[in-house]
Amino acid sequence: MIVRSDLPIGFLAAQIVHAAGESSGSKLEPGTNAIVLSVRTEAALAVVARQLETRGIPHVAVHEPDAPYRGALTAIGLAPVRDRALVKPILSKLSLFGKPAAGKRNPGAVV
């Protein structure tokens, strides 16, 4: 899960639920990990979405239909993957939600 950290916390929680539900497919295997990562802006989230798309990594981009974020990209849900090496080049650059990036390059910082 990757979310925007510039959204109000209540709204953000709803987006996390949307992304998780829409990306999980069906029944999750035992031992499936769930994490929430964040980027600083919608533009940075769009960069992550493009990287996932380019690498063929299954994901769902969540666009909020209602005001005030009408049409905005607000979250991305990733389908569970067995081989974490597929997503590591993209996700290792992101911060855990609620934590600042500790010396890691964050796409949100420069976009």
Least confident of 35-39, 52-56, 62-66, 105-109: 105-109
Name the CA radius of gyration of the chain, rounded: 13
Most confident of the following: 32-46, 47-61, 89-103: 47-61
Q: Which residue has the tokens 């500790």?
A: 102
* Six-digit token string for 68: 């005030």
Q: In this structure, are residues 41 and 74 in contact, taking their beta carbons and an 8 Å threshold?
A: no
Q: In this structure, are residues 73 and 61 in contact, taking their beta carbons and an 8 Å threshold?
A: yes
Mean pLDDT of all residues in the chain?
Answer: 81
State yes or no: pLDDT of 108 exceeds 60. Answer: no
pLDDT of amino acid 106? 43
What is the β-pairing status of strands 2-4 and 37-39?
A: parallel
Choice between 80 and 40, residue whose per-residue pLDDT is larger: 40
How distant is the alpha carbon of residue 65 from its chain centre? 18
**Backbone CA torsion sign across 84, 41, 47, 18:** positive
Q: Is the pTM higher than 0.75?
A: no
Q: In this structure, are residues 12 and 4 in contact, taking their beta carbons and an 8 Å threshold?
A: yes
